[in-house]
Structure 1
Amino acid sequence: MKELKKNKNFHLFILYHKLSTDQKPQHDGCSESWCDWKKAQAANSLDTFHHKPPLSQEVFKAIRPIYEELSRDELLNRCLGGYTQNSNESFNATVWKLAPKSYSSGKKVLNVATDIEVCCFNDGLTSILKIMKALQMDIGVHSYNFCLETDAKRIEHAERSLTDAVKEARSAMKSSRKASEGEFSNVEGQLYGPGIAD
């Protein structure tokens, strides 16, 4: 445990918690909010407290490097902005439009759909024209104009969604939705429960 304090490896506290036994408790970094041993210590009832079977040393040695890798400063610094997976989900949605999950498309079709959507996601619909040109397909004026107009609308929509007014409106909508969900759950709480049909 001295090594743990010296190196300030806070991410390892849970692992040492899981290694703890009645003979060797390792709860220095634990919080009373989630650690039963700490709760027993606060209640002066450690004499009746018994640990669950500990994590084996082999498992500890196997997963410790993973904990250390996931808590590297470089990796954690990437989380500081609080970014979400929305762009990934947005991209996935475009792939599933071309190759819906409801149909068994196969790996080849899914790969082609992914390649096409990567092009569209990064460079817009005009990238489809480049694919068509590479396949020696004839591209009409209407196709070209349609792609330009669609890309312009997409960019305009994206820029508009970044304005402060739209962000505030989106935040207000989320708050309103949460309030509505809270009301519904209160009503559901009254409708469902043990012995309610008695």
Structure 2
Amino acid sequence: MCRKNGVCVGLRYTTLVADGDCKTFNELQELRPYGDTSICKEECTNHVSKRLGTGLRNLVAAESKRGTTLGGRKQGSLTQAKIALLQSHYKKAVASKSATVGELSKKIWTTFYHASSTDCNPQHHLCPTGTRSWCFYNRALAFGKDPPSHKNRSSSSISPHVAEKVRGVYERLTAPELLQRCLKGLTQNANEAIHSTIWSRCPKHLFAGRRRVEIATTIAVGNFNSGSTSLRELTEECGCGVGKISIAHGLKRDFARIKRAEKAETVEAKRRRVDMARAVTVAQQEFLAAEGGPSYISGGF
């Protein structure tokens, strides 16, 4: 890439961060916009993690039709809350930016074996060791104590019968081809954030002309990158001035946004968002089950 008169020449986007529900990558493969230069696809870790939840919920429904019960209130059953928790563990592993596919695969299988362990068959060989390990079993061994019972020790525990059925889903979602596209731990969060900023000024569910969309996008990009005070530069380019009151108001908005962002990064706020997301997921699945099935499938393409 080089610059000519301040403009990038020869710039090529050779990496696409997308999810399995997007057909864009398939169309780019057919169009080949850069000729022999190929475009690589990196998976969005947020969307990849949804595939585990979708796969487990589909498994529960499919086994129920065959007369096998995986859900319910019985100890070790695959409840909606437990599916959300297993999905959360899978997401943390995928987003950990592992160096190799083998390392990432090990992290994912660690969560599976830890959840499927029992007193008769403890499977903590992949869990971290030492006195500061998050695994209660290996932590007890590090202190030289007898490991406590597995009963009620893990909120994500599943029975051996359920683990046997669930293993197939984990094998599919630890395929080397999929994990290779997850090593960088990339997400579409930045894209979703700028889209939200644009839609707040130009709602996508309402018709708008091209000029209005361009204006909304310009203002949103400036606000996204430089804050509310970026409007000053925009108005100056248009030959208009901005008064002191408008500048002060913009600075006040930017300060309030920074404070909200800092608060959202606290451990308490993150835990609250996780709990709310799990509750919403459970409620949505119960509603979809009552309506006869979902209209959206994660990893559908």
Q: Which TM-score applies when normalising by structure 2? A: 0.35
Distance in 2, Cα, partners of 1:133 & 1:77: 47
Match of 1:105 among 206, 209, 218: 209
Range with greater deviation from structure 2 (150-159 or 87-96): 87-96
**1:70 aligns to 2:40 (yes or no):** yes
1:168, CA displacement in angstroms? 0.8
Helix, strand or coil: the match of 1:155? Answer: helix
Task: Tell me the CA shift for residue 71 of structure 1.
Answer: 6.6
Matched, 1:134 2:237: yes
User: Which range moves more in the overlay, 93-102 or 160-169?
Assistant: 93-102
Higher strand share: 2
Percent identical residues: 32
> Which residue is 1:166 aligned to?
269
Rg bigger for which structure? 1
Which residue does 2:197 correspond to in 1? 94
Distance (Å, rounded) in 1 between the aligned partners of 2:225 and 2:181: 22
In the alignment, the residues of structure 1 paired with residue 197 and residue 39 of structure 2 have an alpha-carbon distance, to the nearest angstrom, of: 32
Give the match for residue 250 of structure 2: 147
Specify the code of the residue in structure 2 equivalent to 1:90. Answer: A
Larger helix proportion of the pair: 1
When residues 100 and 70 of structure 1 are mapped into structure 2, their CA distance, relative to the original with a 3 A threshold, is: same
Tell me, which stretches of 5 or more residues in structure 1 are unaligned?
A: 1-61, 190-198
In the TM superposition, what is the alpha-carbon distance from 1:141 to its structure 2 partner?
A: 2.4
Give the superposition deviation at 1:172. 0.7
The match for 2:282 is 179
d(CA) in 2 for partners of 1:144 and 1:92?
Answer: 25
Higher relative contact order (CA 8 A, sep 6+): 2
State the match for 1:116 in structure 2: 219
RMSD between aligned residues = 3.5
**TM-score normalised by length of structure 1:** 0.51
Structure 2: stretches of 5+ with no match in the other structure: 1-29, 43-99, 101-178, 293-301
Distance 2:215 2:288 in 1: 44
